[in-house]
């Protein structure tokens, strides 16, 4: 079958060559020329530059017989240029060292016993220390990306609170990390990280369409957040507050939510609400989503009723969101993405035929590592630019952050 690779039409040509190798390598120069549409001269210049900077290497594996005698294949250099991704969850801090093509080298995780932001930050530093200690050649770590729930606006460096955590994270969180570990650090909204990872993981045909489309990723978990890809670029809103789907009010008379408002979707449809409802009146120790799904599969009447009600609330929220944004695809992630098939079927049944005949694809794609890999993925373009221009110190300047918005990463 002929594979059509996306042209990355708007990116600069060096990034197009790099992105093509990163996503589909190992590739020959001829394949790169075919898939990027660039001239032989451009391909030769850019591969030579990427080789000189040790971003790519010649692939030493067996070459495809169709590719002729001894064609040189280029692939990402896994020994150099790594990025750390950290996923900050309500109960857990997960971190991993990731290569430029999204491969996990090593990982560390710590459970959080309290919900204090200060305690969470200490654990983040502990996970980072562990990763720098365990990885071979820590000098190859070029940047650190954090995947965080809640509203992330880091243009004003103020102490910031995040729903699900009590207290505040330090105003200079990135600076503290940069000083301690000597590499630039950035914070991103967690569903954006997950969507970045899923985009990078798509097959060429799907990526070609989705990277220029409107795609939503819903992290349906302890909280509910959505990432909005609008014509291939992340949509943040004017105050970096877009995507707070969990805090849409679904019942104005409903109970108080952690955000301070009343009757938010999270109060009715998050896994946290399911766990709270099920554990009410039961002293069965710590419950988790896996235990809930097991009880659902065994048709425990109370569990099935609570979960189904949750799914119905979420279905309404998805219908409303699709009616406003008309996306080509909605990816469901987080704990609910791993729910039993009957549960996902119930969601699909509730959604069927509700969008005026729109052909929105809705798929649950559970992937445990997507936030941690995606937090690194969000930084790939910046890291490449730093290697090529040797302007690593310039990354820290605010104007450089603005000049290189992460929403352009799919170019």
Closer of 117 and 257 to Zn ion (Cβ): 257
Tell me: does residue 264 bind Zn ion (CB under 5 A).
yes
Query: Would you say 270 and 317 are in contact if contact means Cβ atoms under 8 Å apart?
Result: no
Q: How far is the CB of 171 from Zn ion (least distance, A)?
A: 24
Which residues, numbered 155-194, are part of the site for Zn ion (CB under 5 A)? Answer: none
Q: What is the 3-state secondary structure (H, E, C) of 26-49?
A: CEEHHHHHHHHCCCHHHHHHHHHH
Segment interacting with Zn ion, rule: CB under 5 A, options 58-66, 73-81, 115-123, 239-247: 239-247
Strand order in the sheet with 361-364: 233-234, 224-230, 215-220, 329-333, 361-364
Q: How far is the CB of 256 from Zn ion (least distance, A)?
A: 9
Closer of 110 and 259 to Zn ion (Cβ): 259
Query: Would you say 244 and 192 are in contact if contact means Cβ atoms under 8 Å apart?
Result: no
- Residue 7 dihedral angles phi and psi, to the nearest 5°: -80, -15
Q: How far is the CB of 166 from Zn ion (least distance, A)?
A: 15
Instruction: At 87, list the tokens.
Output: 């996923």
Sole binder of Zn ion in the list 206, 261, 312, 369 (CB under 5 A): 261
How many angstroms separate the CA atoms of 365 and 353, rounded?
A: 22
Closer of 124 and 148 to Zn ion (Cβ): 148
Segment interacting with Zn ion, rule: CB under 5 A, options 135-143, 146-154, 264-272, 317-325: 264-272
Interface with Zn ion (CB under 5 A), residue total 5
Query: Would you say 192 and 149 are in contact if contact means Cβ atoms under 8 Å apart?
Result: no
Closer of 261 and 312 to Zn ion (Cβ): 261
Closer of 259 and 325 to Zn ion (Cβ): 259
Q: How far is the CB of 266 from Zn ion (least distance, A)?
A: 6
Closer of 229 and 269 to Zn ion (Cβ): 269
Following DSSP, what letter does each residue of 40-103 receive, concatenated? HHHHHHHHHHHHHTTSEEE--SPPPGGG-SS--EEEE-TTS-EEEEEEE-SSEEEEEEE-TTS-
Tell me: does residue 90 bind Zn ion (CB under 5 A).
no
Segment interacting with Zn ion, rule: CB under 5 A, options 37-45, 70-78, 200-208, 260-268: 260-268
Query: Would you say 336 and 223 are in contact if contact means Cβ atoms under 8 Å apart?
Result: no
Tell me: does residue 241 bind Zn ion (CB under 5 A).
no
Sole binder of Zn ion in the list 247, 272, 381, 382 (CB under 5 A): 247
Taken in order 39, 43, 45, 46, is the CA torsion positive or negative? positive
Q: How far is the CB of 163 from Zn ion (least distance, A)?
A: 7
Closer of 51 and 259 to Zn ion (Cβ): 259
Closer of 38 and 258 to Zn ion (Cβ): 258
How many angstroms separate the CA atoms of 242 and 226, rounded?
A: 8
Tell me: does residue 257 bind Zn ion (CB under 5 A).
yes
Number of residues assigned to the chain: 411
- 271-310 footprint of Zn ion as x/- string (CB under 5 A): ----------------------------------------
Sole binder of Zn ion in the list 49, 242, 259, 287 (CB under 5 A): 259
* Residue closest to 149 by CA, chosen among 368, 334, 378: 334
How many angstroms separate the CA atoms of 19 and 155, rounded?
A: 28
Segment interacting with Zn ion, rule: CB under 5 A, options 96-104, 178-186, 259-267, 359-367: 259-267
| 3-state percent helix, strand, coil for the chain, nearest multiple of 5 | 45, 20, 35
Closer of 90 and 394 to Zn ion (Cβ): 90
Instruction: At 348, list the tokens.
Output: 């699909």
Site residues, Zn ion (CB under 5 A):
247, 257, 259, 261, 264
């Amino acid at each position: 079958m002929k594979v059509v690779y996306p042209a990355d039409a708007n990116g600069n040509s060096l990034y197009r060559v790099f992105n093509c190798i990163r996503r589909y390598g190992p590739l020959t120069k001829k394949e790169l020329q075919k898939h990027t549409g660039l001239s032989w001269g451009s391909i030769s210049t850019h591969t030579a530059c990427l080789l000189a900077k040790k971003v790519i290497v010649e692939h030493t594996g067996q070459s495809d017989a169709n590719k002729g005698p001894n064609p040189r294949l280029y692939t990402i250099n896994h020994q150099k240029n790594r990025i750390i991704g950290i996923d900050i969850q309500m109960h857990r801090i997960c971190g991993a060292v990731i290569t430029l093509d999204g491969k996990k080298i090593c990982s560390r995780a710590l459970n959080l016993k309290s919900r204090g932001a200060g305690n969470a930050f200490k654990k983040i530093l502990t996970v980072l220390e562990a990763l720098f200690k365990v990885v071979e050649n820590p000098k190859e770590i070029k940047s650190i990306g954090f995947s965080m729930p809640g509203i992330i606006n880091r243009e004003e460096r103020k102490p910031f609170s995040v729903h699900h955590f009590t207290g505040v994270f330090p105003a200079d969180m990135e600076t503290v990390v940069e000083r301690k570990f000597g590499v630039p650090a950035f914070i991103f909204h967690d569903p954006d990280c997950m969507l970045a990872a899923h985009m990078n993981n798509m097959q060429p045909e799907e990526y070609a369409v989705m990277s220029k489309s409107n795609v939503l990723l819903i992290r349906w978990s302890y909280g509910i957040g959505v990432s909005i890809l609008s014509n291939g670029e992340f949509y943040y809103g004017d105050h970096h507050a877009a995507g707070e789907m969990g805090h849409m009010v679904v019942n104005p008379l409903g109970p108080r939510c952690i955000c301070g408002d009343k009757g938010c979707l999270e109060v009715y449809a998050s896994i946290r609400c399911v766990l709270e409802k099920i554990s009410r009146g039961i002293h069965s120790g710590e419950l988790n989503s896996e235990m809930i799904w097991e009880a659902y599969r065994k048709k425990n009447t109370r569990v099935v009723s609570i979960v189904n009600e949750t799914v119905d609330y979420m279905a309404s929220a998805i219908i409303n969101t699709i009616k406003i944004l008309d996306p080509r695809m909605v990816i469901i992630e987080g704990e609910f993405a791993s729910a039993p098939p009957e549960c996902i079927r119930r969601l699909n049944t509730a959604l069927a035929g509700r969008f005026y005949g729109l052909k929105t694809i809705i798929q649950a794609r559970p992937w445990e590592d997507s936030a941690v890999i995606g937090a690194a993925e969000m930084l790939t373009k910046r890291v490449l630019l730093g290697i090529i221009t040797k302007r690593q110190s310039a990354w820290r300047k605010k104007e450089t952050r603005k000049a290189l918005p992460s929403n352009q990463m799919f170019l």
